[in-house]
Structure 1
Amino acid sequence: MNLKQLIKSASARDINELEVLLLEGGFNVLRVLTDTGPYSLCDANGEVFRLRSTTELRQFLADVPPVPCMLVQYLVHEEICGQRGGPVAPLRVPFTLTSQW
């Protein structure tokens, strides 16, 4: 999904949630959750769009109508160290595109 498709889907209220995936290496990717499945936000070349900060994300998505957002971080070190038994759920924190605080 590209930015134009994202804006169109958000305007039509076809988006259930935006997930900002916080990844190792200091970059984030945006995953768009819809009834038809999850989609990564891609650039004009079809490459997954990488963002460096939530400030950059807010600026980039300034024209997108309001949709529910979550910051999502998988706790890889817990999986590697094996500290807990069973599946490890990602950390999910509500996030807004309109306000920094």
Structure 2
Amino acid sequence: MNLQRFVAQARAGQIDQLELFSLEGGFYLLRVQSPHGLQYLVDKHGETVRLRSTTHLRDLLQEHDLPALPCVLVQHVVHDEMCGRRDGPIEPLRLPVNLERQW
């Protein structure tokens, strides 16, 4: 999903939730959950947008004057994967993120 489409859907109230997906290396990808499914935010070249922090995401939303959107930080817990002690699939950690205020 490109930025223009994301902004239009957010303003129309068609975004269910944002997922700020944390990856190794200290960057994040934004996954947008809507009735059309789960899509990554891409730039004008079709490359996945890399965000630096939750503050970077807040700035992006404020820059386009978007309404408040529910957001969760999604992070896989490497320790669980390394130890291999639990049976079954290992779900990522999902923490709510307040995008309206920084602290």
Same fold (TM over 0.5): yes
Cα RMSD (Å) of the superposition?
1.2
Q: Identify unmatched segments of 5+ residues in structure 2.
A: none
Contact persistence 1:7–1:65 (CA under 8 A): no
Correspondence for 1:43: 43
TM-score when scaled to structure 2? 0.90
Correspondence for 1:73: 75
Measured in 1, the distance between the counterparts of 2:14 and 2:57 equals 20
Measured in 2, the distance between the counterparts of 1:36 and 1:56 equals 25
Correspondence for 2:4: 4
Correspondence for 1:22: 22
TM-score when scaled to structure 1? 0.92
Which one of 64, 67, 74 corresponds to residue 66 of structure 2? 64
Q: Identify unmatched segments of 5+ residues in structure 1.
A: none
SS at match of 2:7: helix
The CA deviation at 1:35 is: 1.5
AA at the equivalent of 1:78: D
Deviates more, 1:78-87 or 1:21-30: 78-87
Deviates more, 1:52-61 or 1:29-38: 52-61
SS at match of 1:83: coil
The CA deviation at 1:77 is: 3.4
- Aligned residue-pair number: 101
AA at the equivalent of 2:33: L
SS at match of 1:61: helix
Measured in 1, the distance between the counterparts of 2:96 and 2:88 equals 25
